[in-house]
Amino acid sequence: MRFLPLLAALYAFSLPAWAQELTALARVDPGPSKVSDGWFGGTTLELHLSQGVPFRVFLLDNPARLVVDFREADWTGVKTSDLLAEPGNVSDLRFGPFQPGWSRLVADLSEPMLPREIGMPVDAGSGKATLEIRLEAVDVAQFTAATGAPVDPAWTLALAAPPKPAAPAGNDRFLVVLDPGHGGIDPGAQRDGVSEKDLMLSFAQSLRDTLMRDGIDVLMTRETDMFVALETRVAIAHQAQGDLFISLHADVLEQGGAKGATVYTLSEDASDTATEHLAARHNRSDIIAGADLTGSDDQVAGILLDLARQETEPRSVAAARTLVEGMKAAGGPMNRRPLRNAGFSVLKSADIPSVLIEVGFLSSERDLNNLRDPVWRAVMVSGIADAIKVWRDEDAAVKPLIRK
């Protein structure tokens, strides 16, 4: 077995020439693939692929994670339990699409560990490949020194890519930015074969089509099953000069037996404990997907919150109230407290009224059945679209009165 040497401080490495030329998807074979802890310490990740592909490996901290990017691996039909029989030195494992042409695996580490051997030998006869990564425990200082996403424009261009241009801004243009929650490697809530990321993408597409038939311009933060960082979702709305930002979700939340459609606006303090927990779950999306958050600036975040309160809070709250009325008129069912607020990162655009809609909660049997029902979804889409038009007209009338 030939392994590639790992550079001590940088966990992105030059790939063999054969790998650089491969472009087709490599299918992951879950049968022989596994994560295993050794009897005398150490952990091995073994991933069997239908062919070799370019890949890179790096570490992230807070929390400790091992990240493997591929160009590109097909994870269709693979479950976490196929690879990780039980938590050990690797406490959890996630994988799936990350960006167009990329897929990603993220392994949560229960203790600081460094890859000591990395290799992807290819069988000369079949062309099949096996990625093997052997990790060994190290102290916290060694691990911290080795963390950080490598800077490589060839791999990170998609993350910084500008959004698709929206219709040119003008006096008559009204642009709604729809944000289907989660995506790609981050599935969101899952229950009984239903995935939040797929459900909300389909819901957003139906809402987009309905709004566009009514002459309203729509931009979506994602149109396929791909990961979009929370910061990028906000940036897309800002760069497109959106008039209203709506993030769509259908979460699982056991606290308080959450059920029924709920609309959230931005606030530094959550309106209740359950909402605080929900916001914390949403704000972890980038961590789940293996994003490097070391450059985040709490001071800037605080300024954004202040600006949002001063410039857009009244308009966001008005939009939320109108949406609640529209969804209620469509038959709901609504949460017993349908208007709530918390520090959702995705609502932090300082210049665009922004709301987050939990169309329902997958943790509620009633909501799950509704969300699975195409007739119920169509009625709810119509109710939301009607509410958006009502708010647009009301906002245009009062907008000159709101302090700029």
175 shares a domain with 109: no
Average predicted confidence (pLDDT) for the chain: 81
- Which two three-digit tokens encode residue 397? 């009338």
CA dist., res. 262 & res. 79, Å (int): 31
Say if pTM beats, i.e. exceeds, 0.85. no
Per the domain annotation, does 126 fall within a domain?
yes
Contact predicate 358/261, CB 8 Å: yes
Residue 91 has pLDDT above 70, yes or no: yes
Together in a domain, 342 and 378 = yes
My answer on whether 385 and 251 are in the same domain is yes
Task: Count CB atoms within 10 A of the CB of residue 111.
Answer: 16
Separation CA 392–CA 214 (nearest Å): 13
- Tell me the chain's radius of gyration from C-alpha atoms: 23
The answer to whether residues 137 and 169 belong to one domain is no
- Is the model's pLDDT at 21 over the cut of 50? no
Residue 30 domain boundaries: 17-151
Give me the residue label for tokens 């054969």.
Answer: 18
pLDDT at 289: 72
Q: Is the pLDDT of residue 177 over 80?
A: yes
Tokens of 360: 């329902």
Q: Are 54 and 174 within one domain?
A: no
Mind listing the pLDDT tens digit for each residue in 329-350? 999 899 889 998 877 777 777 6
Is 4 a domain residue?
A: no
- Distance between CA atoms of residues 173 and 196, nearest Å: 31
| Average pLDDT rounded to a whole number, residues 91-111 | 89
Q: Is 173 in the same domain as 138?
A: no
Tokens of 396: 């245009």
Do both 70 and 211 map to the same domain?
no
Alpha carbon distance 393, 81 (integer Å):
51
The string of DSSP letters for 55-86 reads EEEEEETTTTEEEEEES-EE-TT--HHHH-SS
**Mean pLDDT (whole number) for 286-312:** 58
Which run of H or E residues covers position 177? strand 175-180
Residue 367 lies in a domain: yes
Q: Say if strands 43-49 and 55-60 run parallel, antiparallel, or are unpaired.
A: unpaired
Residue 157 confidence (pLDDT) = 47
12 domain residue, yes or no: no
Asked if 287 and 348 sit in the same domain, the reply is yes
Same domain, 300 and 245: yes
Instruction: Count structural domains, the chain.
Output: 2
What confidence tens digit (pLDDT) does each residue in 35-61 have? 999 877 789 999 999 999 888 899 998
Compute the average pLDDT of residues 144-156.
Answer: 72
Integer Cα distance of 150 and 161 in angstroms: 18
Residue 212 maps to a domain: yes
What's the pLDDT score for residue 277? 63
Q: What are the tokens at 253?
A: 């939340």
Per-residue confidence band for 169, with pLDDT thresholds at 50, 70 and 90: low
Same domain as 172, residue 143:
no
- Of the three residues 126, 151, 176, the one that is the final residue of a domain is 151
Give the domain-ending residue among 102, 121, 151. 151
Tens of pLDDT, residue by residue over 347-396, are: 777 678 999 999 999 888 999 999 999 999 999 999 999 999 999 999 88
Choosing from 104, 123, 151, the residue where a domain stops is: 151
Out of 11-25, 128-142, 296-310, the most confident range is: 128-142
Angle between helices 365-372 and 374-398 (to 10 degrees): 90
Domain shared by 243 and 315, yes or no:
yes
Q: For residue range 76-86, what is the model confidence (pLDDT) as tens digits?
A: 889 888 999 88
Half-sphere exposure of 141 (CA within 13 A, CB side): 0
Where residue 179 sits, what CATH number does that domain have? 3.40.630.40
- Does any domain span residue 8? no
Assigned domain for 175 exists: yes
The pLDDT confidence band at residue 205, using thresholds 50, 70 and 90, is very high
Residue 15 has pLDDT above 60, yes or no: no
Residues 226 and 190 in one domain: yes
Report yes or no on 5 lying in a domain. Answer: no
- 12 pLDDT exceeds 80? no
Residue type, 372: R
Using pLDDT thresholds of 50, 70 and 90, give the confidence band for residue 300: very low
CATH number at residue 124: 2.60.40.3500
At residue 83's C-alpha, the angle toward residues 80 and 89, to 5°, is 95
196: preceding bond cis by omega (within 30 degrees)? no
Closest CA to 288 of 207, 193, 181: 181
* pLDDT given for residue 10 in this prediction: 30
